[in-house]
Every structure is written in structure tokens, then in C-alpha cells.
Structure 1
Amino acid sequence: MQPLKWDTPMDSVSNGTDNGTAYWNQFVQPVWRIVLWAIAYSCIVVVSVVGNVTVIWIIMAHKRMRTVTNYFLLNLAFAEASMSAFNTVVNFAYAVHNEWYFGLVYCRFHNFFPIAAVFASIYSMTAIALDRYMAIIHPLQQRMSSTETKVVVAVIWVLALLLAFPQYYYSTTDQLPGRVVCYIEWPDYTTFDFKKMYHVCVTILIYFLPLLVMGCAYLVVGVNLWASEIPGDSSDRYKEQLTAKRKVVKMMIVVVCTFAICWLPYHVYFLLHQFFPELFEETYIQQCYLAIMWLAMSSTMYNPIIYCCLNDRFRAGFKQAFRCCPCVPRGSYEGLELKSTRYLQTQTSVYKGSRMETTVSTVLHAAEEAEQPKVKVKGGIGPGGNAVGLQPHSSSLDLTSNGSSSRSVSKTVSETSSFFSSNNLQ
């Protein structure tokens, strides 16, 4: 976060003089405008901190929520809540009053931490996109374990801190006549412009490059999930899994698009600042900066809302967290507190077993009715008046019918058992 070029030398005396040169703060705003901006920024802080802390609680307090994707969402929520809590209010106060009240240490932190937090946020989303890509496009390959996920999160933060370190190292404060300013005093090199090079690299690394990677990953995943229709003879389990994958991917695409829209004006603003600095001495630029910064900071408050709207488990968690509020409807907590996998498999097996028994019983009952013999008495009076040839006799057609019926019944029972067994295996 770079400060604007607030001070412009004027001929008239205002706040004081330094070596005969007077400095005048041309970015003074009326009180009503400051109040409106204060309300807007306060909404960001409240919604972002409360929402992201709730997301962290939902993931940490429920074992069923500790998945690879949710670990990255946890890191994303932590980065956004931290940036909103530690930087949004301070940035707003500095932009409005044009004076730094918080000392050199916080000046360095103020310029350093947002770069690291944004880096951690967008690369957490990138890691989710790559994880979804591997899970859907290459399902047979081994997924990341919990330990590997934590290592990836740690690596993301290490790289984020390294990228933001120049902002910390070159940050300083300066006493102007009547006020203190916080800014970054970049070194002067004769061979290249370090300031421009750094900001162009930062913009590429924390915006354009990860968005390009995520765009390609979600494009391939989207084509795989939505381009082909679900086969008509697919099992219910397959359809449920496909629907769940689509929901997760849809939610993450909304998160990425929201981030891209919110931060695009901010990066364009500072790229223009590097190449056209004279534009940023105009009075109207303060209102543009406040609006652009509000939009960028507001990205920290949208994700919890997206999770709540598009994910059943997060929705159940939010209802549980805010169950004391009268405006929150009572919902089932079972969506979050799922039974163990073994319990679900047992329940499914019992249910399908009962269905199989019912089906087999019905088939066998029909077979018993079909197998009852049709008896004809054939014979006559033999020598000595004895009756001979008294025996049940079925026509050749009856024998064939009964034989095939018996085989058909046996085959039907076998196929029925095989069908339910395969379903149980699935």
C-alpha cells in the first residue's frame, strides 16, 4: 500500500515553512464526506473480520471440514481477516487526514503486510484450483495429505514475506511542516528504475500470473464437468459425486472472479502511478483512491458470504454460529456434523440389503408359483384288471417351459444379488 503524493509546494503559507517553501495540504475533505467514507470502510472491517473468523471456526472445530480445499480456505480467511483488521482502518485514516499517527514500526508493517496477505490469499486460491484440477482430471493420482497441505501453506507465506520485504525495508517516516508522513524511500540506481521494476513484478506475481493459472485450470475442469451429459444408467452415487464436484468448482470460480474484479482497479491505479505520476497531484485523485481502495479491501468480506450461499456445510456452520440471532432461521446441523464414513457405509449396506431381500423374496415367490406341475393322468387297464401307466406326465412344452423358467429364476436371483453387491462395493 503506497501513500499518495499528498503535499504540493504552494506560495501561500499554511501549515508552516521549511527553508522558505510553504507546504499546503490540498486534500482536505468536508466532515460529511469523511463520515460517509468512515461508514463504508467500517462495514468492510466488521463483515470481513466476523465472517472470516467464523469460517476459521467452522473448519477448525469440525473434523469433517478439515479437507485439503478447506485448509487453503482457512489460510485465505486468515489472510483476509488480518489484512482487514490491521490495515483497512489505518489506510483509511491516513488517506483521509493525510497525516501518519502510528510511528515508524507500524509504518513499515503497514506497507509490508498487505503485499504478503494478498500474495497468500491469491496463491491459496491457486493451490485450490490446482488441487481441483488434479482431483478431477487425474483422479487416480495420489492427493495431497494434511501434512503436505500445511507445508504448502507455509511455503506460500515464506514467499509472500520475501516478496513484501522491500516494502518493509525501505519504508520510513518524515516530519513535514505540521505533520508526519509515511512513505517508501526507494533507492536510486543509474542503470534501472528499481521502484518501477519492483511494482511491475509485484503486479504480475500477485495478480496476472495466478489468475492466468487459475483460469486455465478451471477452464479444463469446467469442460470436463459440464461439457458431457451424465449417462442415463449411472448410479446415484456417481451423480451425487459429480454434483458435489460441480458445486465446489462453481463456488471457487465465483471467489476467483470476485477477487479479480475487486483488485483490478487497484493494480491499474498503481501501474499508472508509476508511469504518469503527475496525474496524482490533482485534487480529485483522493476520491478515486478512496473508492479504488474500498473496492480492493471489500474483497476480504465477500468470500464468507459466497461460502454461505453456495456450500451446504458452511451454511450449516454459519447457522450454528449465529443461532442466537433472531433473524437467522433454524437449520439442520447434520450437514456439518456428518456421521463417520463407516457408519454411513453400514447404513447404506443395511438399506440396500433390505431392498435385495425384498426383491429376491418376490422373485422366488413368483418362481414357486411358476414351478407348480401341471399333471395329466395317462394309462389304462392292464392284464388282470390292474391299472397301469398311472403317472403324472407333462407335455414336452411344459417341461421346456419349466426348465427355462427355473434357469431364468436362478439367473434373475444371481443377477439381482450381483447388482446389489456391486452397488455396495461402489
Structure 2
Amino acid sequence: MDPLYPLNASDDFNATNGTNGTNGTNVSGNSSDGFNQFVQPAWQITLWAVAYCSIVAVSVVGNMVVIWIILAHKRMRTVTNYFLVNLAFAEAAMSAFNTVINFTYAVHNEWYFGLVYCRFHNFFPIAAIFASIYSMTAIALDRYMAIIHPLQPRLTSTETRVVIAVVWMLALLLAFPQYYFSSTALLPGRTVCYINWPEYTTVNFKKIYYVCVTLLIYFLPLGIMGCAYTIVGVTLWASEIPGDSSERFKEQLIAKRKVVKMMIVVVCTFAVCWLPYHVYFLLHQFFPELFEQRFIQQVYLAVMWLAMSSTMYNPIIYYCLNSR
């Protein structure tokens, strides 16, 4: 299973007859002419394996370094940095627990890891992505309050921890349906991990859920951050630093600009990496016939790689744009 949605348009099927509930094809991946669309040459699998393992190595090491730097140095424990720790933890965990497993299932179309991990594998990434993007949203709102309303009281460290806890509670709640409806099925020659969505005559629960997830973990928070950073950017860069300003004022303004610039790059990187992924699965929900082509697995692997690669860029961005 991929982090958010079902593998290769085969997320829910009738386990009694082994057919895909979306398009009626055999979930073993064999089409009517006997061609197995999931088989790839060894060299192709090797290249994809190197690409995916590179994500895990860079993401886990980079984000753990970020967490250590902030938690081990007292002067680094600011509100913004607490949210950066939460962001780094979510990205490192998703990379470590899901990326390689995801790749293995995508390549083989066979689930080797049991029911418990099947449920975790479908459940955790949505929670992690939710926690990631709403950590970024919290940083954007904190920057907005600090710059646009500097006289208003700021979040304390205790309040920041409460916000982080609430974010994770909402994340787990949003992801719970993926856990609850996850299951495994033994088909001739292989085991699959899938989501057995309930079927209603009047409501397509699966489509409604995926559309809501996309809105809640992509478009809504990006819209909030876009508005916040636009206002902050106009405020910070609209006018030059007055020549008669004190040296301390100039340093503070430059520092604020650097932090905002860094976070804008982080948000834009996230948006670019995840946009193809969300478009891919929204198209699948409404135009499943587009996903019956033999090349779709390569498209899926490329889209998934780009989405998962978002977990490794932030430590690099921090290093390049923030000397602290």
C-alpha cells in the first residue's frame, strides 16, 4: 500500500473472487492476455531500489540531526523550532516505516508483512503527513502573529506542546478509517493488503473520504499558509530598512526575513512534491479507466518517489538557509 491511497488502483476488491472492486480486473495483476503488468526487469527494480533507499538514508539521518540540534541546545528551543522537531519526527518516521515497504509492495504486488503491519502501513502515513503540514501551518501562523501583531502574547513552550498533541490527535482521528477497514486476503499464490471500504447504495464513502483527506492535508493548509506568508512577506519586504534604524532593529528584521524565507521554501517544496500524488489519486477515484495501462506502475513509482522525497529536503533547506 502507498502512504495515502491504494496500490495501483486495486485498493478494494471482492476477496471472495479476487477481483478489483473498481474495474473488475484480476488483482493478481494478470490481464486477459496473461501479461503480468507488475513484472519489471532486474535493472529497473535495482534503479528504483537505489532511489527509494536513498530517500530513507538522507531523510532519517538528516531529520534526526535536526531533532538533536534543537533538543540538545537550550537556546534553540523556540516555538518555531518545537514545531520543526515535530515536523522532522513525522517525516523521519514516515520515511523509515513506510517508504521501503511501500516500494516493495508496489514492485511485487504481494504483501509479506502481516495484518498488523498492513493496518499500520495504511494508517500511519496519513497521520504523519497531517502532523507535518499542520506543523508548517502552525509555524506560519506563529510567524504571522509575531510580525503582524507583535504586541500580542506568543505561545509558551507548554502551549506549544499542547498544540502539537492536538495536531497528532486530529491526525490519528483522520487516519483511523484507513486502519479500521484495512485487511489482508490470501489469493492464489500471493497475499494482498487492501482497504475493504464499506459499500452504500446512496453514498460512495471511499470517494468522499479521499476527497476530504486531500482537502484537509493539502489544499486547506496550503491556502492558510499562502495567505499568512503573503501578508508577512509584504510586511517584511515592502520597504527597505531605514538608514537611521538601530543595529539591533536591522539584525532582528534580517533574522525574521531569513526564517520566513526558509519556511516559504519548505512549504513550496512540500507543495510541489505532493501535488502530482494527490492529482494521481483523485484522477483514479473519478477516472479509473485511465489506470488500466501497462505503464501505470512506472508512473505510480515516480509519483510516489517524488512524494516520499519530500521527507529528505527540509534538513538540506535548513542547512543552506539558516546558519543556526
Correspondence for 1:4: 8
Q: Is the 8 A contact 2:9 2:284 kept in 1?
A: no
Alignment map for 1:45-194 (pairs within 5 Å): 45-194=56-205
1:198 aligns with 2:202: no
User: Residue type of the partner of 1:47?
Assistant: V
Structure 1, unaligned runs of 5 or more: 10-14, 314-426
Provide, for residues 370-403 of structure 1, a one-character-per-residue CA deviation record: whole Å limited to 9, x for no partner: xxxxxxxxxxxxxxxxxxxxxxxxxxxxxxxxxx
Residue 101 of structure 1 aligns to a residue in which SS? coil
Q: Does the aligned pair in 2 maintain the 1:23–1:177 contact within 8 Å? A: no
- Residues 122 and 178 in structure 2, CA contact (< 8 A), matched pair in contact too: yes
Aligned residue in 1 for 2:219: 208
- Of residues 269, 281, 287, the one that matches 2:292 is 281
Q: TM-score, normalised by structure 2?
A: 0.91
CA contact (8 A) 1:112 1:164 kept: yes
Matched, 1:305 2:316: yes
Which structure is larger by alpha-carbon Rg, 1 or 2? 1
1:232 aligns to 2:230 (yes or no): no
- Divergent runs of 4+, >2 A: 5-9, 21-26
| Equivalent residues of 1:8, 1:26 under 8 A apart | no
Which runs of 5 or more structure 2 residues have no equivalent in the other structure?
11-17, 21-27
Task: Give deviations 1:137-169, integer Å, cap 9, x for gaps.
Answer: 000010000000000000000000000000000
Show the counterpart of 2:25.
none
Could you give the per-residue CA deviations for residues 207-263 of structure 1, whole angstroms, max 9, x where no partner exists? 000000000000000000000111111110100000000000000000000000000
Contact 1:28 1:96 in 2 (8 A): yes
Aligned-pair identity in percent equals 79
**In structure 2, what is the equivalent of residue 252 of structure 1?**
263
How far off is 1:279 after superposition?
1.6
Residue 50 of structure 1 aligns to a residue whose secondary structure is: helix
Q: Which has the higher contact order (CA 8 A, sep 6+)?
A: 2
Contact 1:8–1:281 (CA under 8 A) maintained in structure 2: no
Give TM-score, length-normalised by structure 1: 0.70
Distance 1:26 1:242 in 2: 56
Counterpart in the other structure of 2:15: none
Equivalent pairs counted in the alignment come to 306
Secondary structure of the residue that 2:191 maps to in structure 1? strand
Q: Which residue of 47, 50, 66 corresponds with 1:39?
A: 50
Letter in structure 2 aligned against 1:34: I
The two structures, once aligned, show a CA RMSD in angstroms of: 1.9
